[in-house]
Amino acid sequence: MRILPVCGTVLALLAPATAFAQTPSWSPPPESQRCPSKWGADDQRGSMNHQKPAAVLNAAKLIKTGEVIELAHVLGPNMAFFGTRRFDVHTKRTFMNPQSNKRGSNEELVVTELGQVGTQFDGFAHQTIEDSWYNCAKVSENATRSGFTKYGIHGVGQLFTRGVLIDVAGYKGVEILGDNYEITVDDLEGALRKQNVTLQPGDAVLIHTGWGKLYGKDNPRYVKSCPGIGAKSAEWLIGKDPMLLGADNWPVEVSPGPDPLISLPVHQIALVVNGVHLLENLKLDDMAAKQVYEFAFIMQPLKIQGGTGSTVSPVAVR
């Protein structure tokens, strides 16, 4: 009879700690706090509103040598895939034309999620908070079998802006950050300070973790986890008003994150809450080795009508 009160006391003491432990470290803001966006209630471009002639002219001033550095991985059999995504190429040998010049030709059939494989760019249709996209448009009201009627990747257009590489791996003195290392605001500030670079509105901000060294070489490890930014560092970066955030890992953010109660919050923070694009699976080792921290960033997403994203081949020009 004496044990019951003691057990009750212990449970009462444990209850607040359990409740606290089950509180998510980040929660999506309600629509009343995130809509309309700062670009207006009907806006569909988000951070791409920065893409104006001034951004192009500012980026062009950074071109001094004409060196072009490719930032995309090759689309092929060595690609790293997340989940059930795929990229299959089937060659087509066409007939030989009968004319005297004997002209033959070859083609290929590609079966893939063209918006979500390889080095790829996320559009606003890609992620939601429940049924709600960026600027609180509803997925259920804009979904068709042939594409989404809002936020299609075909409407993004050309990106030509100032690019900044933040070499966090270099700042930490390692080739590759730990398997699920969460990049902090202090890391970002320290790396920028070491590089003597400051962020400007409209930048394409690319983060070097070293994780890209595994792409095509140890794909199971590459997709199982990765270092990257967390919610706090994402909010700090977005506070600098970038055009996009990119990284040499598959989700830009750390995965698995330190909080098991939330799933890839940076995707929601960037794409849904703030209208900032994400760029994944970048090849940044060459840039980091050459210490190219500021450059002209150039990229054109494929014009996939109503698509959620696009496989891309961005370049840095300095």
pLDDT of residue 94: 82
Smallest CA-to-CA distance from 125 within 107, 104, 149 is with: 149
Give the CA radius of gyration of the chain.
23
Distance CA 89, CA 109 (A): 6
Q: How does DSSP classify residue 78?
A: T
| One-character DSSP codes across 221-267 | HHHH-B-EE-HHHHHHHHTT--SEEEESSSSSB-BS-S-TTSS-HHH
pLDDT tens column, 187-226? 999 999 999 999 999 999 999 999 999 999 999 999 999 9
pLDDT at position 150, please?
95
Q: Residues in the chain with pLDDT < 70?
A: 1-21
Domain ranges of the chain: 39-73+122-317
Residue 258 to residue 109: CA distance in whole angstroms: 41
pLDDT per residue over 238-266, tens digit each?
A: 999 999 999 999 999 999 999 999 999 99
Predicted TM-score (pTM) of the model is 0.91
The pLDDT of residue 21: 55
Which CATH number does the domain 39-73+122-317 belong to among 3.40.50.620, 2.30.130.10, 3.40.50.720, 3.50.30.50? 3.50.30.50
